[in-house]
Amino acid sequence: QKEVEQDPGPLSVPEGAIVSLNCTYSNSAFQYFMWYRQYSRKGPELLMYTYSSGNKEDGRFTAQVDKSSKYISLFIRDSQPSDSATYLCAMFAGNMLTFGGGTRLMVKP
Amino acid sequence: GAVVSQHPSWVICKSGTSVKIECRSLDFQATTMFWYRQFPKQSLMLMATSNEGSKATYEQGVEKDKFLINHASLTLSTLTVTSAHPEDSSFYICLGRAGNEQFFGPGTRLTVL
């Protein structure tokens, strides 16, 4: 079993839809949780960064962490074609940084 | 957010030559630098972790004599692919970390002919 599991997709949604991206993890030592967006042929860019359980909102993006269930989510409201990319969850504890495999999202106009 | 630059962004080289990739943290001091490799349509694969002034720690299956990592300062880390072969063609990305924050470089696309 991988330490971080993420559905690879692709996930295809119509423009304006609410998107839910998820990751589960097995290592309870993970303390910090991040979501990255990666466009094709580009390096990942940090979208959201959370530490504690609960929700964190930034514009159209909401990151949710449930440490008791070892489950994190990224919600995208009013999705746009420009949101089409691969979304990677990542988490770390100490010097151990682990990424999910990424979910490919396609938002169709 | 903080900025990490990578140079070159794209390099094509002949088989057998060595290629050096630079990663610079422009406005923060990266105490730890991670080097990743990403093949097309695949996830990031950690190659090695380096702390400033220390030898890099390589992941299983990554040849340390082939992928030389130097992290001589808090703002510069280099990855040298020695005697590159076509199977080394990939997208190489550095990730600089300071405290609880980390930032990716834009990546370097290496093509070995």
DSSP A15-84: TT--EEEEEEE--TT--EEEEEEE-TTS--EEEEEE-SSEEEEETTEEEEEETTTTEEEEEESS--GGG-
Query: What DSSP designation does A72 have?
Result: E
Query: What DSSP designation does B44 have?
Result: -
**Which region among A23-27, A39-43, A104-108, B56-60 has the lowest average model confidence (pLDDT)?**
A39-43
Which chain A positions have a beta carbon within 8 Å of B103's beta carbon? 46
Count of other CB atoms within 10 angstroms of residue B113 = 10
Mean pLDDT of B46-71: 91
Whole-number average pLDDT of chain B: 91
Mean pLDDT of B30-40: 90
pLDDT above 70 coverage of chain A, percent: 97
The closest CB to that of B1, out of A46, A97, A99, belongs to A46
**Which region among A32-36, A41-45, B63-67 has the lowest average model confidence (pLDDT)?**
A41-45
Six token digits for residue B21: 């990739």
Q: Which amino acid is at A21?
A: L
Mean pLDDT of A36-64: 90
Six token digits for residue B43: 């996830």
| Helix (H), strand (E) at residue B19 | strand B19-25
Nearest CA in chain B to A49: B101
Residue A70 has pLDDT above 90, yes or no: yes
Band of residue A95 on the pLDDT scale cut at 50, 70, 90: low
Band of residue B40 on the pLDDT scale cut at 50, 70, 90: confident
Six token digits for residue B36: 């990743």
Which pLDDT score, from 0 to 100, does residue B1 have?
60
- Give the integer Cα–Cα distance in Å for A47 and A44: 9
Residue A6 backbone dihedrals phi, psi, to 5 degrees: -145, 130
Which pLDDT score, from 0 to 100, does residue B28 have?
86
Mean pLDDT of A15-34: 93
Buried b or exposed e, range B25-53, using 16+ CB within 10 angstroms: beebebbbbbbbbbeeeebbebbbbbebe
Which chain A positions have a beta carbon within 8 Å of B97's beta carbon? 97
Between the two ends of chain B, the Cα-to-Cα distance in Å is 36
The closest CB to that of B106, out of A42, A92, A101, belongs to A42
The CA R_g of chain B, rounded to the nearest whole Å, is: 13
B103 touches chain A (CB under 8 A): yes
Count of other CB atoms within 10 angstroms of residue A89 = 27
The closest CB to that of B104, out of A45, A51, A101, belongs to A45
Which chain A positions have a beta carbon within 8 Å of B102's beta carbon? 34, 46, 92, 97
Contact B44 A32 (CB under 8 A): no
Band of residue A61 on the pLDDT scale cut at 50, 70, 90: very high
Mean pLDDT of A35-62: 89
- Looking at per-residue pLDDT, the higher value among A81 and B74 belongs to A81
What are the C-alpha distances in Å from A51 to residues A61, A88, B22, B91? 16, 17, 31, 29
- Looking at per-residue pLDDT, the higher value among B2 and B52 belongs to B52
B66 touches chain A (CB under 8 A): no
Band of residue B61 on the pLDDT scale cut at 50, 70, 90: very high
Mean pLDDT of A30-40: 90
Minimal CA separation from A97 to chain B, in Å: 9
Q: Is the dihedral of CA A40, A43, A48, A53 positive or negative?
A: positive
The closest CB to that of B32, out of A95, A99, A101, belongs to A95
Say how far residue A19 (Cα) sits from the centre of its chain: 11
Instruction: Give the strand order in the sheet containing A54-58.
Output: A4-5, A19-25, A71-76, A61-66, A54-58
Contact A97 B46 (CB under 8 A): yes
